[in-house]
């Protein structure tokens, strides 16, 4: 527990947060802001391990075993700004006695909204249409211009079935009458399946073959690296659309670019990438893929809520109480 006569705990925010979230922490702690809002390199993160009591990183910060094992490290809390934590070596944090927290729940609806946005943009060729209009190539309405696909009464396949996938499923079923199918490491309860009108597929490959839209919601990491590869893309319908709001490395981007270029699948909508902020040049050259810059939780309300969720865990930790969202 922090003694009130002692100096305030020193906290580093690795990127800029919303004003409300930054202000909340700055009023209570000795906070350092990343004023230039550029990613911190390994040397800066290593030094931060020695200089601060807590680091609040984002997905753009790689906290590997070497950094977390910094000799003379002062950091005892990593308050991650986000749900996913595959950029943090959790086992190394455990060994170093560092508590890691994340921000579940608060970004569920916002990210699900974006998954639906990508699905609609890709199926209706909205990105192609906007580029055509802005570039002055639109010659006027005609019956066969930029024909897309309906999603109503089609099958939405979900890979992973956590909070965001379930929220996406409800939107798709209630809003568009879509049939919901999913594959996950653990089958959901009968109650959850009924709420989402969802059918469980034990086989991922069978799900791929049956889906008109395939939306990825699985965690990142070694187990799911290139889960969607050239072979699995070959199992999908030629009219199928792939949506990824999960983690970039889940998809083999080179294989996806080839599949889109050859017509193996119809289209894709991506918000995450293998080597962010770098995007595979093969994808950038294609018209039938919607590319967004990792905007999944990007609303003022949600990013503020994420920051305040981190702050709540910071408060609890330095008050000597159990944190709410402990990863390790």
What are the catalytic residues? 247, 276, 294
And the tokens for 69?
């094992």
Cβ-contact 30, 7 below 8 angstroms: yes
Work out the angle between the directed axes of helices 163-176 and 108-123 (0-180°, nearest 10).
50
Contact in structure between 246 and 275 (CB atoms under 8 Å): no
Q: By three-state DSSP, how is residue 263 classified?
A: coil
CA dist 247 and 279 (Å) reads: 13
Residue 77: strand, helix, or coil: strand
Residue 237 in contact with residue 264, Cβ under 8 Å? no
Residue 48 near residue 55, CB atoms below 8 Å? yes
Cα 284 from Cα 270, distance rounded (Å):
11
Decide: helix, strand or coil at residue 50: helix
User: In the numeric block, which tokens belong to residue 109?
Assistant: 């609806």
φ and ψ of 73, to 5 deg = -65, 140
Task: Give 19's contacts (C-beta < 8 A, 6+ positions apart).
Answer: none
Q: What Rg, from alpha-carbon coordinates, does the chain have?
A: 22
Closest residue by Cα to residue 48 from 98, 2, 83: 98
What region does 18 belong to: left with phi over 0, alpha with psi -120 to 50, or beta?
Answer: beta
Q: Which runs of consecutive H residues, i.e. helices, occur in 139-272?
A: 163-176, 190-196, 204-210, 230-233, 253-262
């Amino acid at each position: 527990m922090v003694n009130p006569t002692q100096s305030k705990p020193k906290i580093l925010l690795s990127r800029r947060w919303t004003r409300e979230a930054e202000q909340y922490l700055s009023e209570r702690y000795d906070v350092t802001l990343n004023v230039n809002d550029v990613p911190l390199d390994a040397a800066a993160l290593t030094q931060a391990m020695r200089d601060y009591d807590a680091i609040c990183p984002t997905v753009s910060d790689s906290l590997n075993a070497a950094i977390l094992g910094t000799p003379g490290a002062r950091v005892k809390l990593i308050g991650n700004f986000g749900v996913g934590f595959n950029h943090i070596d959790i086992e190394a944090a455990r060994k170093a006695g560092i508590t890691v927290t994340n921000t579940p729940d608060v970004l569920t609806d916002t990210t699900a909204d974006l998954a639906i946005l990508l699905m609609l943009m890709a199926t209706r060729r909205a990105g192609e249409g906007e580029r055509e209009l802005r570039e002055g190539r639109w010659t006027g309405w005609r019956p066969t211009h930029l024909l897309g696909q309906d999603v109503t009464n089609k099958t939405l396949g979900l890979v992973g079935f956590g909070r965001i996938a379930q929220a996406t499923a409800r939107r798709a079923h209630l809003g568009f009458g879509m049939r919901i199918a999913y594959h996950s490491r653990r089958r959901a309860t009968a109650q959850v399946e009924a709420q989402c009108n969802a059918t469980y597929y034990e086989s991922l490959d069978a799900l791929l073959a049956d889906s008109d839209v395939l939306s990825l919601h699985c965690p990142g990491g070694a187990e799911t690296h290139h889960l969607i590869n050239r072979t699995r893309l070959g199992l999908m319908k030629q009219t199928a659309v792939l949506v990824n709001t999960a983690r970039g490395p889940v998809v083999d981007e080179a294989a996806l670019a080839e599949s889109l270029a050859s017509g193996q699948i119809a289209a894709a909508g991506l918000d995450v990438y293998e080597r962010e902020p770098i995007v595979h040049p093969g994808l950038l050259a294609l018209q039938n893929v919607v590319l967004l810059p990792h905007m999944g939780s990007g609303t003022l309300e949600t990013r503020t809520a994420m920051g305040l969720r981190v702050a709540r865990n910071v408060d609890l930790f330095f008050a000597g109480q159990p944190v709410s969202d402990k990863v390790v």
